[in-house]
Chains A and B, each alone.
Chain A
Amino acid sequence: MPKENSEYLIERYDNVYEVVIGLEVHAQVTSNSKLFSSSSTKFGAEPNTQVSLVDAAFPGMLPVINEYCVKQAIKTGIGLKAQINKRSVFDRKNYFYADLPQGYQISQFKYPIVGEGTVTLDMPNGQKEVGIERLHLEQDAGKSIHDMDPQNTFVDLNRSGVALMEIVSKPDLRTPDEVSAYIKKLRSIMRYLGTCDGNMQEGSLRADVNVSVRLKDSKELGTRCEIKNVNSIKFMQMAIDYEANRQVDLIEEGKSIDQETRLFDTKKNETRSMRSKEDAHDYRYFPDPDLLPLEVTDEFIDNLKKDIPELPDDKKKRFIDEFKVSPYEATILVSDIETAKYFEEVVAKMGKNQDIKLAVNWITGELFAVLNNKNLEISQSPISAKNLAKLVNLIKNGTISGKIAKTIFELMMDGDKDPQIIVEEKGLKQESDPKALEALIDKIINDNREKAIEYKNGKEKLFGFFVGQAMKVSGGKANPQLINEILKKKL
């Protein structure tokens, strides 16, 4: 897979192809109950214990819409800078499958609740605007489990009827990196809004990827194939890579591309055609006669606008203006709402005389490394923002050196210990008394006269030796800046 993210092109002899990608993201709405029934939406329940008569499509059962889900969809639309449609219609999408108890899915076809919008991506070579085509509400299906029995499929309807927002992008994406950035940005916006938790492992966020290829300067779109239900960014990128190359190979062989639905096989790392959905494209959409058109007022929408928190793009601007972090750092800090919250709490707790840049380094460096290692979210961080702030302050005011801080950091992880207390208990205060340090350095130079002479004669590398000795003798507690200054003076 090509590493460069500015251009993702496929070359074959004289032909250069570009890849055109559009995504249909299915995001599970954060709500207590389902879209059209009052069953719980909690993840991980025992099979078929969160299924009502409506969910299981018993005779005579009828859908009743959850107001909160409507609000969540509109809020997401606002976050996507999109047009909110005051009137929208629910349609039935008719097909047969074991995990679709009604024999149709209630969705929105012609008149979705949200129209066109945009998402801004921060790419290494600048910002990219990705168009949103629409967002609509629809029911999720249940789960079919194929591997519990050789002859049969087991069906769990817990997920049947859970509210989904389907977010359709315009075919503006061109590279796997852009796809990654787009998913992450979308996820981030929804987490900021609290409209979807974006947990891909739990299936809260899935995507269908539409891929087509065309000669680089062509204005026309090629035939696209849809790769369904990819549930990780890594797989999306792999699927796109495989599929784009597959299509280019076909074109180069003079063959045409069938518009079809495909699956990504995560074991073989390839896409293949879905065999059992032959008539799946004749969904016979028509407005659901059990539901009336959905109408919301300007007032309803305005009230929701008031509830919108500061979103990533605005927060990024503010971090740059207010905290003077670099755009690159700001992007990282705002990428997830929990990270942004953590950062702001650290800054607040650092009080006056703060070193924000240092704080940023510690968060994005040491802290992120630990979280990655232990597979934790920042909200589960073993070190609280309060205590990290304290640690950074201790470095800033010279109480400890950066090196010692790393040791303390490790110790803090055990039960979120207060770094001040660790410093006192372990006597880790760095030595910053110039007189004491001068004495120490004098002794080292005396003990190493030959090396001192060699250094003075030009062997500059030996400076490090003296620094090392100073650290060793002081038990790591010597203030590194002072050591450097004094050594420079004395040598």
Chain B
Amino acid sequence: MSDITSQSLTSLVKNIKEKKLSSEEITKAFVDRSEKSKELNSYITEDFSNAIDKSKKFDEKPNLDLKLPGIPMAVKDLFCTKDIRTTAGSKILENFVPTYESTVTQNIWNEGAILLGKLNCDEFAMGSSNETSFYGNVQNPIDRGLVPGGSSGGSAAAVSGQLTPITIGTDTGGSIRQPASFTGTVGLKPTYGSCSRYGIVAFASSLDQAGPMSQNVEDCALLQEVISTYDNKDSTSIDFNRGQYSKDLTKDIKGKKIGIPKEYRVEGMPKEIEELWKKGIEYAKDCGAEIIDISLPNTSYALPTYYIVAPAEASSNLARYDGVKYGFRAKGENLIDMYEKTRSEGFGAEVQRRIMIGTYVLSSGYYDAYYLKAQKVRKLIKNDFDEAYKKVDAILTPSTPSSAFKIGEKKNDPVSMYLNDIFTVPVNLAGLPAISIPAGLDAAGYPLGLQIIGKAFQEQEILNLAYAMEDKINFKNKITDWWIK
């Protein structure tokens, strides 16, 4: 029943609660569509027969008070799921089956949702096109041969292609927002500390955040409500007053002050992006918001800063993948040989590159010039936002400097790949929340996104702004099902 898979999460939840649809019907519909969508290569691990079993069990004794009752959902393969293989898109975890569950996914299952499978992603979340995965590229449902973005490429493709009603991804430098923008979907990166990092394969600890990836803002708010909890198993989890994001969602943004940072107008920015941004400003005005020009002076230093901090933390976080306790192990003549072969064969090229960068910037003699310097610049970037937020409630920018590019187009040029994250990275460095909503199409008909950045812990604010703008923009994702067999 393709009618089911084109429904939003909110609609499906409503139908289940009103007993118009059963969990089994919904789950079978998504399983069916997923099985026909192998060409997208969205899934690394499928758990379809278990999903259907669980849906039947749910229907026997449905708890309709839950927020995601009997809803099937696939999740990014960076979340550890108990007894279900978790690979992080890497060969080094090819056969790793966790005996534990991440907090974020546990929250989801606690609200009645059912796991469909694990979604493809760039290896260890390092990438902007899902081309570094050991499990192959992912196709953007928008058009054949197009990247879906990354690192949550499989997730974005799955939502956009309606293989799952909603999903969660992770965002370290833009890995939720950029693929959302490329696939015409919605992606939210919450405030750092909002969602627990317990059980998420770590990339860069001071930047990683899990977040919802959905078809619309309403769905996004609902899932955010479910996944954002204080967790004492994560020392960086913040105990703050989390609202009921879906309940308090409103389109009334009259009088809200929205900042437009001049430094985001980068040299060589495609005209279409400029146009989209202007349109967005108009939409915001239409909703009653006030537009204020602001300056974030250190914006151009964000990307270089990120490419010191993130690899540094990653080089240390990935040291545990040594073949000793779990994961892939290569044969070695002695311990060091075993380490070197295991990591050389187990990690892909991009991951190895970033580990090397990270090791270098932390190494003796270079720490001050690179890592320490980057942490100082990071302070300046955060200060920029703190200053701006004295004048405005939120900031509006484009999500990405272009629409989705072709698979293979940027693979050999790491720096040009890194430039994809130019608008998203400052947000992670400052630990702020930001949401990307689809706002238009480029000349080729590919989606472009707008990003709304908020104050720390003000997810409700940016969800509301996005909700209002979404309504005005009235974007319709044209999915042609070209990949369906």
Q: How far is the CB of A98 from chain B (nearest CB, A)?
A: 6
With A96-B339, A102-B319, A155-B324: A284-B202 Cβ-Cβ less than 8 Å: no
Q: Which of A52-60, A76-84, A438-446 makes up part of the contact surface?
A: A52-60
The one of A62, A102, A289 in contact with B198, judged by C-beta atoms closer than 8 angstroms, is A62
| Interface-lining segment among B40-48, B358-366, B380-388, B469-477 | B358-366
Chain B window 296-337, contacts with chain A (Cβ cutoff 8 Å), 1 for yes, 0 for no: 000000000000000011011011101011100000000110
Q: Could you tell me if A60 and B200 are in contact, using CB atoms closer than 8 angstroms?
A: yes
Whether A59 pairs with B96 at a CB distance below 8 angstroms is: yes
User: Whole-angstrom distance between the alpha carbons of A281 and B364 in the complex?
Assistant: 9
- How many A residues touch the partner, as a band? 20 to 34
Given A56-B325, A62-B198, A290-B235; A103-B363 close (CB under 8 Å):
no
- CB contacts under 8 Å to A, within B340-383, are 359, 362-364, 367, 371
**Set A62, A94, A98: member contacting B319, Cβ < 8 A:** A94
A289-303 CB mask vs B (1 if < 8 Å, else 0) is: 111100000000000
Taking a contact as CB atoms closer than 8 A, the residue among A101, A102, A286 that contacts B362 in the complex is A286
Contacts of B202 in A (CB 8 A): 59-60, 290
Q: Which residues of A contact B252 (CB under 8 A)?
A: none
Measured in the bound complex, the distance between the Cα atoms of B138 and A461 in whole Å is 108
CA–CA, A43 and B202, complex, Å? 32
**B6 lies within 8 A of chain A by Cβ:** no
CA distance A61 to B234 in the complex (A): 9
- Could you tell me which residues of chain B, from 188 to 229, have a CB within 8 Å of some CB in chain A? 197-202, 204-206
| B364 and A284 contact, CB distance less than 8 A | yes
Cα distance, A291 to B235, chains bound together (Å): 6
Smallest beta-carbon distance B294→chain A, Å: 29
For B100, give the chain A residue with the smallest CB separation. A53
Question: With A56-B325, A96-B322 in contact, do A286 and B235 touch (Cβ < 8 Å)?
Answer: no
Task: Check if B102 is an interface residue, CB within 8 A of chain A.
Answer: yes
Which of these, B102, B206, B363, contacts A289 with CB under 8 Å? Answer: B206
B98 on interface, CB distance cutoff 8 Å: yes
Contact B319 A103 (CB under 8 A): yes
B116 at the interface (CB under 8 A from A): no
Structural contact, B339 and A94, CB atoms closer than 8 A: no
**Residue pair A98, B335 in contact (C-beta under 8 Å):** yes
Q: List residues of chain B with CB within 8 A of the CB of A63.
A: 235
Quick one: closest A residue to B362, CB to CB?
A284
A101–B86 Cα distance when bound, in Å, is 19
Residues of chain B lying within 8 A (CB to CB) of residue A104: 316, 319
Contacts of A155 in B (CB 8 A): 324
* Contact A98 to B324, CB < 8 A, known contacts A58-B98, A59-B202, A282-B363: yes
What CA separation (Å) do A289 and B202 show in the bound complex?
A: 11
Distance, CA A63 to CA B233, complexed state (A): 8
Q: Which of A96, A281, A285 gathers the greatest number of chain B CB atoms within 10 Å?
A: A96
**Interface flag for A64 (CB, 8 Å):** yes
* Chain B residue, CB-CB nearest to A53: B100
Scan residues 85-139 of chain A and give those whose CB is less than 8 A from a CB of chain B: 92, 94, 96, 98, 101-104
B351 → chain A closest CB, angstroms: 14
Closest B residue by C-beta to A278? B336
CB of A21, distance to nearest CB on chain B (Å): 26
CA distance A103 to B371 in the complex (A): 19
Instruction: Assess the B201–A59 pair: CB atoms within 8 A.
Output: yes
- Our count of residue pairs bridging A and B at CB distance below 8 angstroms stands at 96
Given A96-B319, A98-B324, A286-B316, A64 and B80 touching (CB < 8 A)?
A: no
Distance of A94 Cα from B355 Cα, bound (Å): 13
Asked whether, in the complex, the Cβ of B235 is within 8 Å of the Cβ of A64, the reply is yes
- Within the complex, the shortest CB–CB distance from A270 to chain B, in Å, comes to 25
Interchain nearest-CB distance for B401 vs A (Å) = 28
Q: How far is the CA of A56 from the CA of B312 in the complex (A)?
A: 22
- Greatest chain B CB density within 10 A among A63, A101, A292 is at A101
Residues of B close to A92: CB separation below 8 A: 316
Residue of B nearest to A153 (CB): B335
A436 within 8 A of B: no
Min Cβ gap B164→A in Å is 22
Within 8 A of B (CB), among A265-285: 281-282, 284-285
| Contact residues in A for B325 (Cβ distance below 8 Å) | 56-58, 101
Asked if B232 is at the interface of the complex by the 8 Å CB criterion, the answer is yes
Kindly identify which residue among B200, B204, B235 contacts A65, using a CB–CB cutoff of 8 Å: B235
When distances are taken between beta carbons in the complex, the residues of chain B under 8 Å from A285 are 362, 367
The residue of chain B having its C-beta at the shortest distance from the C-beta of A63 within the complex is B235
A7 to B359, CA, bound (A): 47
Distance of A292 Cα from B193 Cα, bound (Å): 12
Return A87 CB to nearest CB of chain B, in Å. Answer: 16
Q: CB-nearest residue of chain B relative to A290?
A: B205
Q: A59-B88, A59-B201, A286-B362 are in contact. Are A94 and B235 (CB under 8 A)?
A: no
Is B10 located at the chain interface by the 8 A CB criterion? no
- When distances are taken between beta carbons in the complex, the residues of chain A under 8 Å from B313 are 289
Q: Given the complex of chains A and B, what is the CA–CA distance between A64 and B98 in angstroms?
A: 20
Q: Considering the chains assembled together, what is the distance between the CA atoms of A291 and B371 in angstroms? A: 17
Q: How far is the CA of A291 from the CA of B339 in the complex (A)?
A: 27
Nearest CB on B from A117, distance (A): 28
Contacts of B86 in A (CB 8 A): 59
Q: Is there contact, CB below 8 Å, between A60 and B319?
A: no
Whether B367 contacts A286 by the Cβ 8 Å rule is yes
What residues on A are CB-neighbors of B312 within 8 Å? Answer: 286
Q: How far, in Å, is B339 (CB) from chain A's closest CB?
A: 6
Q: How far is the CA of A153 from the CA of B100 in the complex (A)?
A: 28
Let me know if B93 is at the binding interface, CB within 8 A. Answer: yes
CB distance from A379 to the nearest CB of B (A): 38
Chain B residues contacting A64 (CB-CB under 8 Å) are 232-235
Complex Cα–Cα for A94 and B336 (A): 15
Q: Are A290 and B319 in contact (CB under 8 A)?
A: no
Structural contact, A60 and B339, CB atoms closer than 8 A: no
- Whether the Cβ atoms of B316 and A94 lie closer than 8 Å is yes
Residues of A close to B233: CB separation below 8 A: 62, 64
A57 to B204 CA separation, bound complex (whole angstroms): 16
Contact flags B155-172 to A (C-beta < 8 A → 1, else 0): 000000000000000000
Is B200 in contact with A103, judged by CB distance below 8 angstroms?
Answer: no
B295 in the interface, Cβ–Cβ < 8 Å?
A: no
- Determine whether B236 belongs to the interface, using a CB cutoff of 8 Å to chain A: yes
Q: How far does the alpha carbon of A62 sit from the alpha carbon of B102 in the complex, in Å?
A: 11
Chain B residues within an 8 Å CB radius of A103: 316, 318-320, 322
With A94-B316, A101-B325 as contacts: A289 and B362 at CB distance below 8 Å: no
Complex Cα distance, B364 from A277, in Å, reads: 16
Smallest CB-CB separation from B193: which chain A residue? A292
Residues of B within 8 A of A62 (CB): 197-198, 233-236
Which chain A positions have C-beta within 8 A of B363?
282, 284
- Give chain A residues whose Cβ lies under 8 Å from the Cβ of B339: 96
Q: Which of B258-272 contact A (CB under 8 A)?
A: none
Residue of B nearest to A64 (CB): B235
Residues of A contacting B200 in the complex (Cβ-Cβ under 8 angstroms): 60
A56 contacts across to B, CB distance below 8 A: 325
Tell me the smallest distance from the CB of B314 to a CB of chain A, in Å.
11
Identify the interface centre among A64, A282, A290, A292: most chain B CB within 10 Å of its CB.
Answer: A290
Chain B residues packing against A (C-beta within 8 Å): 80, 86, 88, 93, 96, 98-100, 102, 197-202, 204-206, 232-236, 312-313, 315-316, 318-320, 322, 324-326, 335-336, 339, 359, 362-364, 367, 371
Given contacts A62-B197, A286-B362, A290-B202, 19 further A-B contacts (CB under 8 A): A57-B325, A58-B80, A58-B98, A58-B325, A58-B326, A60-B197, A60-B198, A61-B198, A65-B235, A92-B316, A96-B339, A155-B324, A282-B364, A284-B316, A284-B359, A284-B364, A286-B316, A289-B236, A290-B205
Query: Which 10 pairs, one residue from A and one from B, show the smallest C-beta to C-beta distance?
Result: A103-B319, A284-B362, A289-B205, A289-B206, A60-B199, A57-B320, A59-B201, A282-B364, A60-B80, A290-B205
Provide a sorted-by-A list of 14 A–B residue pairs whose CB atoms are within 8 angstroms. A59-B201, A60-B201, A61-B198, A62-B236, A64-B232, A94-B316, A94-B362, A98-B335, A103-B318, A289-B205, A289-B236, A290-B205, A290-B236, A291-B235
A binding-site residues for B, Cβ under 8 Å: 53, 56-65, 92, 94, 96, 98, 101-104, 153, 155, 281-282, 284-286, 289-292
